[in-house]
Structure 1
Amino acid sequence: MPSDARLLLLDKNQVEALLRHDDVLEAVREAFVLHSQGEGRVFPLVREPLTTGGVFGIKSGDVQTQGLLGFKAAGFWPGNRGLGGEPHQATIMLIDPATGRPVCVIDGNAVTTMRTGAAGGLGLAHLARPDSTRLCVFGTGVQARVQLSFALRILPALQQVRYVTANGEPDAAFEQAFAQRCHISHATDRNAAVSDSDVVITATPGGGALFDPEAVQPGTHLNCVGADTRGKRELPHGLLGRVRLFVDDGAQARQIGETQWAPDTPCIELGDLLTGKASANRAPADITVFDMTGLALQDLTVARLLHERARTGSVGSSIAWPW
C-alpha cells in the first residue's frame, strides 16, 4: 500500500487568497451545465437539526468523466455569533474516485459564500430585466454582501439599492461597503421597498415571510437564498402561484427551498437555460423567482479550481496521509 501519499489542506486565509470572482463564476456556470447534461451527479441530500441548536448537512456528487468526487459537510450554528464567529460553517473534501482516498480538505466557508453569490449572479444574468436599475436586498450579512456584489457586476444599469435589516436599524458598515458602487440607503418600509424595485434579493436565515405578496410588482425578479432547510421560507404564501419559477435542482428545491411550500409549481432548472434545453422567454410583466438551494457540483468545481491553483502555486499544507 502507498506509504508516501499526501493530503493537501487549505485553510480560510489560503482559500480567500486563491478565490477570484470571474473564475468562480465560470466554475459555477460549468456546474450548472454539467448538471443539465447529466454528466454531473448530485447525490441525496443530508440536512438535519441537531440537539445543540445547529443544523448539519452533507452535499455530495461527482463528475465521472472528470474524475471529480467529493462532498461538503456544512450547516448553520447560530450560537457561533456569541463566540464572535460565523454561524455558517463548511468543510469540503475532494476524494480520488479510483481509490477512495482523500486528496484535499478545504475550508468551505468562503467557497460557499462566493459560489452562492456567483449562482445568484447567473440567475440575474438570465432572468432579471437587463435594464433593471433598482434593487432591494433583505439582510446585510455575508451572503447579502456577496449577492449584492455580484448583482452590481452582472447588471451594470443598477443605480439604486435599498436594504432591509432584521432590527429595522441602518447598517453603516454595509452602506460603506457599497457606497462607491451605487446609491444605497436603508429602507424602513419593506413592502414599499419591494414595490419600488426591479430586483429583490432575500438573504436571511429564512425565518418567515419578509413582505406581503401584493408588494411584488409585474416585471420583478427575485433571487431567494435563505430557504435551504425544511421549514425555512422568505417568500409570502401565495406568491409562487403568480410567478415563473426557476431552480438550481427541482428535487432539492421541493425538499428544502422555497418550492417546498408549493411543490406542484412548474419550474425550470437554470442549467437547462444555460445548455439551451429550455428558454426563459421573459415577458416584460413576468415575475420571475430563482429558488437557490445550492448544488454540490458548485462546491466541487470551485474546490477543483482551488486544488489545482494551490498545487501550481505551492499553497497550503501538505501532510503525510499513508494508507
Structure 2
Amino acid sequence: MSNDAQLLLLDKNAVEALLLPDQVLLAVREAFTLHSRREGRIFPVVREALSTGGTFGIKSGDVPSQALLGFKAAGFWPANRAVGAEPHQATILLFDPASGRPLCVVDGNAITTARTGAAGGIGLQLLARPDSRQACVFGTGVQARVQLEFALKLLPALQEVKYVSSSGKVNAAFEAYFSGRCKIALATDANAAVAASDIVITATPGAGPLFDLQAVRPGTHLNCVGTDTRGKRELPAGLLKQVRLVVDDVEQARRIGETQWLPETPCTEIGDLLTGKSVLQRHADDITVFDMTGLALQDLTVARLIQQQAMEQGMGSRIAWPW
C-alpha cells in the first residue's frame, strides 16, 4: 500500500494538445491488430437509454501483455445542444491491472472523435477505390468533420464533397473548415449525391435510413459511423444483402451496429485485413461497407499514448490518491 500515490488528470485542453493524427492512426491500427490476434480483449458493451433522454454506455477491455486495462464511460445527450454544449460526452479511466488502482482520468471527447476518425481513415485506405474523387457526407457535426478530415488526408484523389445537413440548409462553418482543401457544397438531393459519389460517409444520430437503396451505385464504399445502439440505423433496408461487409468486431456489430438489421450477413473484421488473417480482393463494381461500432481497445491505446506523452512533458494535474 502507498500513501503517496497520485492520480493523473488530463482535461480537454491537455488531450487536444497531445493528439496528433499520425500517432492516433498508429494507435488505432495497433488496437485493430491486437483485436485480430486476440492479444487484446473487449468486454461486453453497456449501452442504455436514460429517462433524461440521453444514452449512456461503457466500453472496456484490456491488453494483458501490456498491462493495459480501462474503460470509457460515454454517451449521447441531445438536449446539451440547447445550452450550447456538446451532446457527446466521454471519460476514460486507466487502471493498474495488478492492483486495480486507478492511474489516469482522461477527457474522452477528443479521443473518441480522433480515434473514430482514424478508424474511418483506415477503412477508406483498405476498402475504398484509390481513385475515389467524390464523397457524400451525411452530417456536419464533430464526427462528420473528422471523418472528412481523415478522408482528405489519406485519399489524395478526393477532390469534391457534397454534404447533407440535418436542416437541409448550408452550414457555412462546415464549408469554411474545408475551404481550399476540396470543392465542397450542400447536397440538395441526398439520393443524387449518393449516386454521384465514390465514397459515402454517414455520421448522424442514426434516426433512420438516409437515402434510398437504388441510389447506391456499384463501386461505392460506405463508412457507417452513426449506428452504435440497438434500434439505430443509417442505411436503407436491403443494402447489406448487396455489399461486402467489414466490421470492427463481429459480435458487437451484430448487436449495435448496422449489421443488427441483417446479422447473418457474412463479414470480415478489419483487424484481420491488417494482420493478413483475411484477404479482401475488391472488384471495381463491389459495394463495400465498413460498419464502425468503436472498440474499447481504440480508446485504450490512444488514451495510453496521451498518458505517456503527458507524463513525459509534465502535463496534466496530479492529485493524491492513497490506497
- Aligning the two structures, in what range does the TM-score lie when normalised by the shorter sequence? over 0.9
Task: Give, in whole Å, the separation in 2 of the partners of 1:62 and 1:256.
Answer: 21
Secondary structure of 2:60's counterpart equals: strand
Task: Give, in whole Å, the separation in 2 of the partners of 1:14 and 1:308.
Answer: 12
Number of matched pairs = 323
Task: Give, in whole Å, the separation in 2 of the partners of 1:107 and 1:309.
Answer: 15
CA shift for structure 1 position 93: 0.3
Secondary structure of 2:28's counterpart equals: helix
CA shift for structure 1 position 128: 0.2
**Over 4 Å off, 4+ runs:** none
Verify: 1:189 aligned to 2:189, yes or no.
Answer: yes
CA shift for structure 1 position 280: 1.3
Other-structure match for 1:137: 137
CA shift for structure 1 position 32: 0.1
Output aligned runs, 1:1-323, within 5 Å. Answer: 1-323=1-323
Secondary structure of 2:48's counterpart equals: strand
- One-letter identity of the residue aligned with 1:267: C
CA shift for structure 1 position 6: 0.3
Task: Give, in whole Å, the separation in 1 of the partners of 2:215 and 2:241.
Answer: 15
CA shift for structure 1 position 218: 0.2
Secondary structure of 1:136's counterpart equals: strand
Give CA deviations for 1:290-314 in whole Å, capped at 9, x if unaligned. 0000000000000000000000000
CA shift for structure 1 position 131: 0.3
Secondary structure of 2:13's counterpart equals: helix
Task: Give, in whole Å, the separation in 2 of the partners of 1:83 and 1:14.
Answer: 24
Give CA deviations for 1:71-115 in whole Å, capped at 9, x if unaligned. 000000011111110000000000000000000000000000000
Task: Give, in whole Å, the separation in 2 of the partners of 1:154 and 1:213.
Answer: 28
TM-score by length of 1: 1.00
Task: Give, in whole Å, the separation in 2 of the partners of 1:92 and 1:126.
Answer: 29
Task: Give, in whole Å, the separation in 1 of the partners of 2:83 and 2:183.
Answer: 34
Task: Give, in whole Å, the separation in 2 of the partners of 1:157 and 1:147.
Answer: 16
Can you give the 5+ residue segments of structure 1 that lack an aligned partner in the other structure?
Answer: none
- One-letter identity of the residue aligned with 1:250: V
CA shift for structure 1 position 48: 0.5
Task: Give, in whole Å, the separation in 1 of the partners of 2:186 and 2:82.
Answer: 26
Task: Give, in whole Å, the separation in 1 of the partners of 2:249 and 2:180.
Answer: 35
Give CA deviations for 1:183-206 in whole Å, capped at 9, x if unaligned. 001101000000000000000000
Give CA deviations for 1:124-181 in whole Å, capped at 9, x if unaligned. 0000000000000000000000000000011000010000011110101100100110
Secondary structure of 2:131's counterpart equals: coil
Task: Give, in whole Å, the separation in 1 of the partners of 2:98 and 2:62.
Answer: 12
Task: Give, in whole Å, the separation in 1 of the partners of 2:3 and 2:313.
Answer: 25
TM-score by length of 2: 1.00
Q: Percentage identity across aligned positions?
A: 72
Secondary structure of 2:129's counterpart equals: coil
Task: Give, in whole Å, the separation in 1 of the partners of 2:261 and 2:164.
Answer: 23
Secondary structure of 1:75's counterpart equals: strand
- One-letter identity of the residue aligned with 2:321: W
Secondary structure of 1:92's counterpart equals: strand
Task: Give, in whole Å, the separation in 1 of the partners of 2:90 and 2:199.
Answer: 29
Secondary structure of 1:181's counterpart equals: coil
Give CA deviations for 1:229-257 in whole Å, capped at 9, x if unaligned. 00000000000000000000000000000
Secondary structure of 1:163's counterpart equals: strand
Task: Give, in whole Å, the separation in 1 of the partners of 2:305 and 2:217.
Answer: 40
- One-letter identity of the residue aligned with 1:162: K
- One-letter identity of the residue aligned with 2:283: A
CA shift for structure 1 position 25: 0.3
Can you give the 5+ residue segments of structure 2 that lack an aligned partner in the other structure?
Answer: none
- One-letter identity of the residue aligned with 1:202: T
- One-letter identity of the residue aligned with 2:201: I
